[in-house]
Amino acid sequence: MNNHFFKQALLTDGWHENVSVEINNSGVLSKITKNSRHQGTDPVLECVIPAMPNCHSHVFQRAMAGLTEYKTAENDSFWSWRDLMYKTANQISAEQLYHIARYCYSEMLEAGYSSVCEFHYIHRDLTDKQNCESMSLAVINAAHDVGIQLTLLPVLYTQAHIDGSPLSELQQRFKMSTDEYISLYQSLEKRLFPEQNMGICFHSLRAVSLEKMKTVLNALNNGQPIHIHIAEQEAEIQQVLKHTGKRPVELLFENFDVNENWCLVHATHLNDDEIKMISQSKTIAGLCPMTEANLGDGVFPLKEFIQENGSYAIGSDSHILINPFQEMQILEYSQRLIRQQRVIASTQQTQNVGTLLWSDSVSGGAKVCQLPVAGLKVGQMANWISLDTQNPILTSLNGALCLDSLIFANNFIGTDTYAKGSKIAQFNQNIVQNYKNTLKSLR
Ligand SMILES: [Zn+2]
């Protein structure tokens, strides 16, 4: 038994003082007592929030973060960035992917993420094109080795456009038939570690036909997570609209039983009807505010979505930065800029922006990975972040103001991540050195 005492803690029903937690041998919270008293030698932490589930990752893109911030065309956009991204994707071997993932997943743990949904589409081995397992195994092993919980999402990616045109030369490593996908999925399920999970994943409505999605769901759907990129770019909305007469969210809901197992990643461009469809069905919107800002995608209608009681999760996606606090900051600031107002993510029950965004994202994030990472609650993993309240900025603040300060006013406020009730290990030098060697060979 490994117990802790928190002077302030953000539990699933809000902030509480003097909280004792008991953690069993599997690292699961087995008892939580509010208004408790410190017992014996239990470690005391001043201010604790739940660790964050990361709802969306393309881990290999960490290797190119910061390398695409120069002009390549008159109107640089997501699409010109994507060409640069494909070049990186086409160079990476399974061994290199393992080293990149170990480093990036270590960064995630350090930043306060407890788990990650890996939206994985570089399937074909760099040299043995028939082998579609080696790249997934690199991800599975890397996550296990650094101790981050993983939901692996092998991606079906079959066409370049919604008109069915074939994948380009640069997209060949992503290509898979539905039969290949189903057999890869079934075979990878047997390769997972006990703390890992898997979900079904379609790249987007432009990259997979409705028929192929139905084939895969008929063969594999048993209530696991289902992820898809849905409405990231205006251009893709227009493509889908032109080809089918429907916007992507409408088209999806018309063809599938979209429910709380689904994560609609980049539900950026939504009209009022789509906001209602997503929120009423309890489907989770997967938001990646820093990547969406970096790629110039657009701004998610957060205020309307919160008003409809919509559920959302956050992800670091392209890993331009790995920092869940900054994801919250950009999410809120983008709303303020377009509305010329302050304090958008706030409800009558939860007025502080940090508490609302953090609690909602933990709850939504746990649903889209279907792992026990839903926060400080009995039966969930003992994964949390401890704030350094010695920092002058946090002097004499309650928990809600500490979290707001961490999101909006953070100059070097330290945090420690705990996984399964223990502080995570320092960055291992072997991980750093192998990552550097990998980058050297890719650059
Ligand atoms: Zn993505």
For residue 330, give the 3-state DSSP assignment. helix
Is the pLDDT reported for residue 82 higher than 90?
no
Ligand 1 centroid to residue 230 C-alpha, Å: 10
* CATH number 2.30.40.10 is the correct assignment for the domain at 2-50+376-429: yes
What is the C-alpha to C-alpha distance for residues 396 and 251, in angstroms, rounded to an integer?
A: 51
Note the pTM of the prediction, 2 decimals.
0.97
Q: Give the pLDDT confidence score for residue 232 in this predicted structure.
A: 87
Position 156 scores a pLDDT of 98
CA 64 / ligand 1 centre spacing (Å): 15
pLDDT in tens, 194-219: 999 999 999 999 999 999 999 999 99
- From ligand 1's centre to the CA of 384, what distance in Å? 26
Q: Is 266 an active-site residue?
A: yes
Query: How confident is the model over 327-347, as a mean pLDDT?
Result: 97
Instruction: Examine the pLDDT at 168 and tell me if it is beyond 90.
Output: yes
Identify whether the C-beta of residue 382 lies closer than 8 Å to the C-beta of residue 417.
no
Residue 72 has pLDDT above 90, yes or no: no
Ligand 1 center–CA 351 separation, angstroms: 31
Give the model confidence (pLDDT) of 92-134 as tens digits: 999 999 999 999 999 999 999 999 999 999 999 999 999 999 9
Query: What pLDDT is recorded for position 71?
Result: 84
Ligand 1 centroid – CA 399 distance (Å): 33
Domain boundaries along the sequence of the chain: 2-50+376-429, 52-369
Distances, alpha carbon 366 to alpha carbons 67, 229, 311, 315, 348, in Å: 32, 18, 11, 12, 24
| 52-369 matches 2-50+376-429 in CATH topology | no
CA distances from 379 to 16, 31, 47, 193, 383 (A): 19, 9, 21, 19, 12
Confidence label for 411 from pLDDT (cuts 50, 70 and 90): confident
Rounded Cα distance between 337 and 23, Å, is 43
Predicted local distance difference test score (pLDDT) of residue 317: 97
Q: What does pLDDT average to over the chain?
A: 95
163 as an active site residue: the answer is no
**Predicted local distance difference test score (pLDDT) of residue 334:** 97
For residue 76, pLDDT over 90 is answered with: no
Secondary element (H or E) of residue 149: strand 149-156
Tell me the mean pLDDT in the region 325-351. Answer: 96
Rounded Cα distance, 233 and 409, in Å: 31
Q: Binning pLDDT at 50, 70 and 90, where does residue 84 land?
A: confident
In this predicted structure, which of 226-235, 276-285, 320-329 has the lowest mean pLDDT?
A: 226-235
Long-range contacts, 186-190 (Cβ 8 Å, 24+): 186/220, 187/133, 188/133, 188/136, 188/137, 188/140, 188/152, 188/154
Question: Band of the pLDDT at 148, cuts 50, 70, 90?
Answer: very high
Quick one: fold of 52-369?
TIM Barrel (3.20.20)
Query: What are the backbone dihedrals phi and psi of residue 208, each rounded to the nearest 5 degrees, phi first?
Result: -140, 135
- The confidence band for 77, taking pLDDT boundaries of 50, 70 and 90, is confident
Residue 265 CA to ligand 1 centre (angstroms): 7
Sheet containing 14-23: order of strands: 29-33, 14-23, 2-11, 44-50, 384-387, 415-419, 422-423
Q: What is the pLDDT of residues 170-196, one digit of tens each?
A: 999 999 999 999 999 999 999 999 999
Quick one: how far is CA 130 from the chain centroid? Answer: 29
Residues 258-286: tens digit of each pLDDT? 999 999 999 999 999 999 999 999 999 99
Query: Which among 317, 319, 360, 404 is annotated as catalytic?
Result: 317
Query: Which residue type, as a one-letter code, is found at position 218?
Result: N
Give Rg (Cα) of the chain.
21
Among 237, 205, 202, 225, CA closest to 283:
225
**Scanning the structure block, which residue is given the tokens 């390549």?**
72
144 within 8 A of 193, measured Cβ to Cβ = yes
Residues 344 and 303: beta-carbon distance below 8 Å = yes
Q: How remote is the CA of residue 204 from the centroid of ligand 1, in Å?
A: 10
pLDDT over 90 percentage in the chain: 90
pLDDT at 4: 97
**Nearest C-alpha neighbor of 224 from the set 189, 260, 199, 258:** 199
Instruction: Match 């290509």 to its residue by tokens.
Output: 175
> Pick the residue with more confidence: 49 or 39?
49
Name the active-site residue from 16, 120, 203, 266. Answer: 266
